[in-house]
Structure 1
Amino acid sequence: MDTTNVSTKGTNPVRSNSSKERRYNDRVSIFDWFYQFSILLQRSLKERKYESFNILRVSQVVAAALLAGLMWWHSDYMNIQDRLGLLFFVSIFWGVFPSFNSVFAFPQERAIFVKERASGMYTLSSYFMARIVGDLPMELILPTIFLIITYWMGGLKPDLLSFLLTLLVVLLFVLVSQGLGLALGAAIMDAKQASTVAAVTMLAFVLTGGYYVHKVPSCVVWIKYISTTFYSYRLLTRIQYGDGKKIAYLLGCNHESSTSDGANCKFLDEDVVGQMGPMGSIGVLFFMFVFYRLLAYLALRRIKN
């Protein structure tokens, strides 16, 4: 990691390691803060460019997109069970992938971060914001490529508006999952332990996301409402099937019909009809987006030299 000095201009180069002195060093003018932020952002972009777009990671995403597209090749709109399986796979992949990648971010940089902070090279807020802003373009390109491949190969709702709405939901979900990984990594500051906790957390979120189990036992039902997968899956199904009334009529689920598909009607009733409104799900995801990053920032403040 480049250790270019980005110390505040005009300040005393001799720094104390006491907590009182470190608090003082965090109080800089807005111009000095933006100067530090710009330098740190440039450094972050240079580093993350090679990390985010290495051959292995790009190949992993493209391979997963092609495999999903082939598995659900031009799936039938009336085959709800198959389509919901594809939507849930998208939720799983873009919940696990960014969270596991970001959980290593702060533990890997701890030694250099502590050294630079001890010398008063920059404030914590400028470092943290540069890291967050620098990650945005890097984290959003690969899921966009993935969805362009999978969405059209999988035969999901073939109109541009539905595709763009699906893309926006996936990108928001990626940022929320990344924030969860950052928060766990900053709180634990041990890569192996943090990855283990992240694995258990994402497993709980996936199991309570709504596709596998609908009647969750009361003792663990609360996990569903903090699950990032639960809200993203609800939004993705809403985009494809709306409130479910139209497709229910076409399947004959609202009235007795010899042609009704019992399996599809079951999935329609449990995964689409009666779900949380879209604005509620979007609001919760935005809250998680801010909350997880705030937790990561507060965890970094606890790190001592």
Structure 2
Amino acid sequence: MASIMKTVSAFSRERAVVDRERTAGSYDVAPYFMSKCVAEIPVTSAFPLLFSAVVFPMTGLAGGLPGFARFAAASTLEAATASALGLAVGAVAPSPEVANALAPAMMLSNIVFGGLFVSADNVPSYLRLLPKASLVRHCFQGLCINEFSAGIEFEASRPSDVKDGAEVLERFGLQGSFAGTCAKQAKLCCFYNYAAFVLLRNNKPEFAAMQPPQE
């Protein structure tokens, strides 16, 4: 989620330069946006990969090398989606101040409906779209499936105790497959990037028409 604040903070200031150069006819939105997305890949991927390399072995998570690869992939995809959301927020906001005010609200809604605090089954019907649009939920679900689908069993001394990883997933309401959660996350990433592109293209600088001098 830190990728949202990083992207919003940088892009909202960069946008002023981009708008000025677009007005001068230096380049169009499409080549700028594509080059920015490509240039952001190493920066966006570095921290989640480093995070995965440190956290996965230190916490003793299950799955071995394949489990680590899935853990790193889900974390990196979540960071890319958060960065795309940051671009969309920066593109729709009229100023850096507004963008920095919107970003925490977007982060909070993604965290609250991420599946850890509120189950999607307990969300009111008029808010059911928020868990589906939460990039935290899809990452959280994918990481839980990666961990608890590895045949983990627990010592259950009472009937209410959790017996295995499958029961953990059932109690959290996390169904599906790891590939399915990554596909949903990728769709969100593409949607936010497309929204950012459209907003940036449509929110171009406008100037008053020049009037002839009055005699």
TM-score, structure 1 normalization: 0.60
Give the deviation of 1:259 after TM superposition: 5.4
Distance in 1 (CA, whole Å) between partners of 2:102 and 2:161 is: 39
Rounded to whole Å, the distance in 1 between the matches of 2:31 and 2:3 is 23
Structure 2's unaligned 5+ residue stretches are 207-215
Counterpart residue number, 1:286: 186
Q: Which residue pairs with 1:136 in the alignment?
A: 41
How is 1:73-92 mapped onto 2 (pairs within 5 angstroms)?
none
Q: Does 1:236 align with 2:152?
A: no
8 Å Cα contact 1:105-1:182 kept in structure 2: no
* In 1: Cα distance, 2:97 partner to 2:29 partner: 24
Aligned partner of 1:65 in structure 2 is: none
State the shift of 1:162 in Å: 0.6
Matches within 5 A, 1:60-99: 96-99=1-4
Cα-to-partner distance string for 1:161-204 (whole Å, 9 max, x where unaligned): 11011101111111011000100111113222222222112211
Alignment partners' CA distance in 1, 2:58 and 2:100: 32
Does 1:226 find its partner at 2:133? yes
Distance across 2 between alignment mates of 1:264 and 1:227:
29
Identify the match of residue 81 of structure 2 among 176, 188, 191. Answer: 176
Matching of residues 11-160 of structure 1 within 5 Å? 96-157=1-62, 159-160=64-65
Corresponding position of 2:195: 295
How big is each residue's C-alpha offset from its partner over 1:102-144, in whole Å with a ceiling of 9 and x where there is no partner?
Answer: 1123320233212211221112211111111111111111221
1:99 CA drift (Å): 0.8
Matches within 5 A, 1:200-279: 200-214=105-119, 215-242=122-149, 246-247=151-152, 250-251=153-154, 258=157, 262=161, 267-271=168-172, 275-279=175-179
Structure 1, 155-164 or 170-179: larger mean CA deviation: 155-164
Distance 1:280-1:185 versus aligned 2 partners, 3 A rule: same
Query: Which digits, 9 at most, give the CA deviation of each residue in 1:19-53, with x for residues without a partner?
Result: xxxxxxxxxxxxxxxxxxxxxxxxxxxxxxxxxxx
Match of 2:205?
A: 304
Shift in Å at residue 258 of structure 1? 3.5
The structure with higher relative contact order (CA 8 Å, sep 6+) is 2
Counterpart Cα distance in 2 of 1:225 and 1:275:
13
Instruction: After TM superposition, give the deviation of residue 279 of structure 1 in Å.
Output: 3.3
State the alpha-carbon separation in 2 of the partners of residues 279 and 289 from structure 1.
15
Give distance in 2, aligned partners of 1:210 and 1:110: 34
Q: Secondary structure at the match of 1:179?
A: helix
Q: 1:264 to 1:223 in 2, by over 3 A?
A: farther
- CA distance in structure 2 between the aligned counterparts of 1:283 and 1:133, rounded to whole angstroms: 20
Confirm or deny: 8 A CA contact 2:63 2:147 kept in the other structure: no
Partner SS state of residue 104, structure 1: helix
Q: Report the AA paired with residue 124 of structure 2.
A: P
Q: Percent identity among equivalent residues?
A: 25
Query: CA 1:196 to 1:264, structure 2 compared with 1: closer, same or farther past 3 Å?
Result: farther
SS in 2 for 1:152: helix
Taking the aligned partners of 2:43 and 2:188, their CA distance within structure 1 comes to 20
Report the count of equivalent residues: 201
RMSD: 2.3
The residue identity in structure 2 corresponding to 1:262 is D
TM-score, normalised on structure 2?
A: 0.83
